[in-house]
Amino acid sequence: MRKILLFVSSVLISFGLNAQESLKFSELAIQLSVSDFVLKNTETGTEEGQFSEDLYTQLSEVNIAAIAMQQNAETQSDIDDMVGILDNAIREYAASIVSSTTSEFDIDALSDEVTVATWLLSASKAGTKQGQFPQEQYNELYNIKQDAKSALKYAESQSEIDENYQTLVAAEESFKASVYEEDVVIAPTYDNSLLSQAIDKATLLLESTTYGTEIGQYSVTEYMNLSKATESAKTILAKSNKQSEIDKEEAALTKAIQTYTDTKVTEETYVKPDSPYNVGQLSSKIETANYYLDNTTYGTNVGQYPIAQYKNLLAETEKARDLLTSAQNQSEIDAQTSALAQAIDEYVESKLTESLPPQYDETFDINVMVNNENYGKTYGSGSYSKRNVRIIASPASGYHFVKWEDGNEDNPRDITVTKDEVYMAVFEKITEPVTDSTLYTINAVSIDDQLGLVLGSSKNIAYGTKITLIAQVSFDGYHFAGWSDGNTENPRQLTVTEDKVIVALFENGSTAIEDPIVENDIQIIQRQIVMNGEAPVYVYDILGRKIANKNLSQGVYLVSMNGKTARVFIQ
């Protein structure tokens, strides 16, 4: 019966739109388009999201009567009466939706109106042909409908609900009145109705489905991808007036919707866990954690996550993965599910909204060496947890830096720390004779640009020229600690006699030296700091990072032993 009614409806609509041209049928045509869309695209039943079977039948009958009216109407009042009857039938049907939504306010009228507005937009098309609507009016109704939909969830008062309802009703009437009665010729425009419909569909999917590994759930990765695609589409919908951009975004979102729906776990695709316990929720949390571990990065910059939270999430995920096959009872599974859920929440909430100061936990060892200690010195050796580190090669008098052993010729060189690494600086003897016309280069650099900057680097400087170097602290809590050659003047005057690389060192202001060690007790033996014949308990670089007491390059270090500390300079 339903298919017959829809068939009759569609045939009569196609025939009746041109009948009785002396009367105004535009609003009836709009209502018929909506009712036809509703009858074809909704389901009846008792589950959430379905509608009343009786009211569906009623709407079908009114729909047929309205089509007949297009053929037989004699007065405008007949048309207007039928518009009201059909509109009431549509609204009664909309109000019959099965919903579990609860609110402290009376939202029924607004909820029904949002449904009607959604149907109206879905059954309409923006364009310049007869029966179509101006793009501006289409966009306005869509945006007002979205605001009303948001108010259903987040309104803070009944008056806010009522205002959204009144605004939406007025927008619907204005939209219907804007329909083109005949084809119009206007400047080229764009049609984003398909994109807005795709956004509605994607939003409904995201709100009404869950991700996980159990039957009826979807892939967490595709859930996140669909979320990103939806947000991107909303941005294009609001800002773009280029049809190519709109079409491209609509195609991408439609693909994301299809990809997401294809990942639904069914009885046929469900893989039963190899465990005697209920591990469905734990498996779902593992999948969620894997998504974040694979698709985010840790660090100190905006948009990254603190390394501590990353490591905690990684550790809890590993524990959960092991328990899938090694759990001895259900309580172990449940406890780890809760722990992993908490780790995920903490990780997500820890996303940085502003950059953090450098963090210097001992994580990876960077060893910066030279091809011959007589040819020059290097800087940058140490243990790092920060992701970017600067290494520097400083040639001795009579030598020049050629390259790093891996072929890189940058000096200073900024590297990304991901594992223990060894970097070898290659120096060679200068073979060109030095004359009065020889020009020199002074390269003054900061050990870490986040902590401070250096002014005064110069090229093509004549022998004997005096230049000024200035070290400027740029991060609160740190201060200038001296130059790599032991000089502590700032500003500093330097007489140029050779090519030179000078490093400005910055120190954490919280690092204080109390009860200093007697200087005569300190020795440097084979690039290692020794005090009273023993290696110190702790060695730190000038930034307060704990480092290994071996193969130390030229620079300033802090050492601690038996509760005493001292600053040590290695030539």
* Portion of the chain with pLDDT greater than 90, in percent: 27
Whole-number Å distance between alpha carbons of 245 and 383: 48
pLDDT at residue 5 greater than cutoff 50: no
Q: Which two tokens stand for residue 304?
A: 């990254």
The amino acid that residue 301 corresponds to is: N
Residue 501 burial (10 A CB sphere; 0-12, 13-18, 19+):
buried
Instruction: Estimate to the nearest angstrom the gap between the alpha carbon of 199 and the chain centroid.
Output: 19
Tally of CB atoms within 10 A around 314: 16
Give residue 4's pLDDT band: very low, low, confident or very high (50, 70, 90): very low
Q: Residue 143: CB partners within 8 Å, gap ≥ 6? A: none
Tokens found for residue 194? 């398909």
What pLDDT digit, counting tens, does each position of 309-362 carry?
888 888 898 888 888 878 888 998 899 999 999 999 999 998 888 876 554 444
b/e per residue 343-363 (b: at least 16 CB within 10 A)? bbebbeebeeeeeeebbbeeb
Do 28 and 76 contact (CB within 8 A), yes or no?
no
Check residues 61 and 476 and name the one with the higher pLDDT.
61
Size (the chain), residues: 571
Contacts (Cβ under 8 Å, ≥6 apart) of 26: 131, 179, 181
**What is the enclosing helix (H) or strand (E) of 302?**
none
Q: Which pLDDT score, from 0 to 100, does residue 188 have?
A: 58
Of 492, 497, 525, nearest to 396 by C-alpha is 497
- Residue linked to tokens 């280029």: 242
pLDDT given at position 386: 59
As a whole number of Å, the CA-based R_g of the chain is 37
Q: Is the pLDDT of residue 248 over 90?
A: yes
**Interhelix angle for 108-123 vs 135-154, to 10°?**
150
- Which range has highest mean pLDDT (6-10, 258-262, 298-302)? 258-262
CB atoms within 10 A of CB 48: 11
pTM of the model: 0.39
Distance CA 276, CA 270 (A): 16
Report the percent of the chain where pLDDT is more than 70.
83
Which pLDDT band, with edges at 50, 70 and 90, does 392 fall under? confident
Coil/strand/helix, residue 538? strand
The sign of the CA dihedral 202, 205, 206, 208 is positive
The C-alpha atoms of residue 421 and residue 369 are separated, in whole angstroms, by 11
pLDDT at 545: 58
151-170 pLDDT per residue, tens: 888 888 999 999 999 999 99
Angle between helical axes of 330-349 and 307-326 (0-180°, round to 10): 160
Q: Which residue has the tokens 């939406």?
A: 168
Q: What confidence category does residue 393 fall into, taking pLDDT thresholds of 50, 70 and 90?
A: confident
Ranges of each domain in the chain? 2-185, 272-349, 512-571
CB 529 within 8 A of CB 539: yes
Average pLDDT, the chain: 81
- Supply the pLDDT for residue 12: 39
Mean pLDDT, range 43-71, rounded to an integer: 89
CATH architecture designation of domain 272-349: Up-down Bundle (1.20)
Residue with the larger pLDDT of the pair 143 and 564: 143
Q: What's the confidence (pLDDT) of residue 7?
A: 37
In this predicted structure, the answer to whether residue 18 has a pLDDT above a threshold of 50 is no
Question: 94-103, 135-144, 315-324, 467-476: lowest mean pLDDT where?
Answer: 467-476
Q: What is the DSSP letter of 212?
A: S
Q: DSSP state, 519?
A: G
For 495-545, write each residue's pLDDT tens digit: 888 878 888 887 765 433 333 444 556 777 777 777 766 655 567 665 555
- Residue 518 has a pLDDT of 47
- For the chain, helix, strand, coil in percent to 5 are 40, 20, 35
In angstroms, the CA 413 to CA 443 distance is 13
| Per-residue pLDDT at 11 exceeds 70 | no
Span 125-150, pLDDT tens digits: 988 888 899 988 999 999 999 999 88
Give residue 295's pLDDT.
83
CA distance 232 to 43: 30
- Lookup result for tokens 């030539």: 571
Q: Which residues contact 269 (CB under 8 A, 6 or more apart)?
A: none
Mean pLDDT for 246-254 is 94
* pLDDT recorded at residue 374: 85
Q: Residue 72: enclosing H or E segment and its boundaries?
A: helix 53-72
pLDDT at 512: 37
Q: Omega of the bond prior to 134 within 30 degrees of 0, cis?
A: no
Q: What is the DSSP string of 343-411?
A: HHHHHHHT--SSPPPP---S-EEEEEEES-TTTEEEE--EEE-SSEEEEEEEEPTTEEEEEETTS---S
- Locate tokens 């518009």: which residue? 83
What per-residue confidence (pLDDT) applies to 85?
93
Most confident of 241-255, 462-476, 528-542: 241-255
Mean pLDDT of 551-556: 68
The closest of 434, 571, 404, 448 to 499, measured between CA atoms, is: 434
Whole-number pLDDT of residue 232: 93
- Residue 562: pLDDT band with limits 50, 70, 90: low
- Say what the pLDDT of residue 564 is: 60
Q: Read off the pLDDT band of 61 (50, 70, 90).
A: very high
